[in-house]
Amino acid sequence: MEPVAYPVKKAKEMGLRRCHDVAGRNSCDHVRVLGASVFRRQGKPDLSFVVQTYRDEDTARAAYGTVWKAWKQWVPAARTVPAPHLGDQRDAVAGLSASTAEGSKGLMVQVRVGSVIMLSMAEAGPGVPTADSFADRFAGVFARRAAQAQAGDEPSARLTASAG
């Protein structure tokens, strides 16, 4: 899926909103812009990226726990794994993929950098090798680019839509 980003209201109208309720709070409360992208390649884990931007760092910090509780439930049989030392806050879990097939693997890393919360997910079916640290590399790239953008610098790498 090519990268997309929309104000939350428009994402909701388009059916693209990825929000979840946890203990009476919605994981998209106070989100300004919601973005997502997915990469798939035969024989490799599927990689998904979700970004939620907030008006300021304090709002993102306050939302962090709700967002994590909402999203980590999508990794069945989740166990905490070491999170890469990224951003201002970070968490990571590994477990089964959403399919819950025996031998599948699901990984999720959430990182907050300033006013942005980013989720990096990897899902692999049975027989597709995926180490617990697999998503760390991708979360790291994502977090470093967010820090560059928030500092007013041109991100050193970015995704562009390809025609073809």
Annotated domain spans of the chain: 4-150
Q: Which residues of 19-55 are buried (b: 16+ CB within 10 A; e: fewer)?
A: bbebeeebbbeebeebbbbeeeeeeebbbbbbbbbbe
- When pLDDT is averaged across residues 54-78 and rounded to a whole number, the result is 92
What is the reported pLDDT for 140? Answer: 79
- pLDDT value at 67 more than 80: yes
Q: Kindly report which listed range (4-13, 17-26, 83-92, 97-106) carries the lowest average pLDDT score.
A: 17-26
Digit-coded pLDDT (tens) for 80-93: 998 878 899 999 99
Q: What confidence category does residue 96 fall into, taking pLDDT thresholds of 50, 70 and 90?
A: very high
Q: For 100-140, how does the pLDDT look when each residue is reduced to its tens digit (9 = 90+)?
A: 889 999 999 999 999 999 999 999 999 898 887 776 777 87
Distance from C-alpha of 68 to C-alpha of 113, rounded to nearest angstrom: 14
How high is the pLDDT of residue 18? 66
Q: Apex CA 23: angle with CA 61 and CA 95, to 5°?
A: 80
Q: What is the pLDDT of residue 164?
A: 31
- CA–CA separation, 151 and 111 (whole Å): 17
Spatial neighbors of 1 by CB under 8 A, at least 6 apart, are 36, 37, 38
For 140, the 3-state DSSP assignment is: helix
Q: What average pLDDT does this structure show over 130-156?
A: 78
pLDDT category at 163 given cuts 50, 70, 90 is: very low
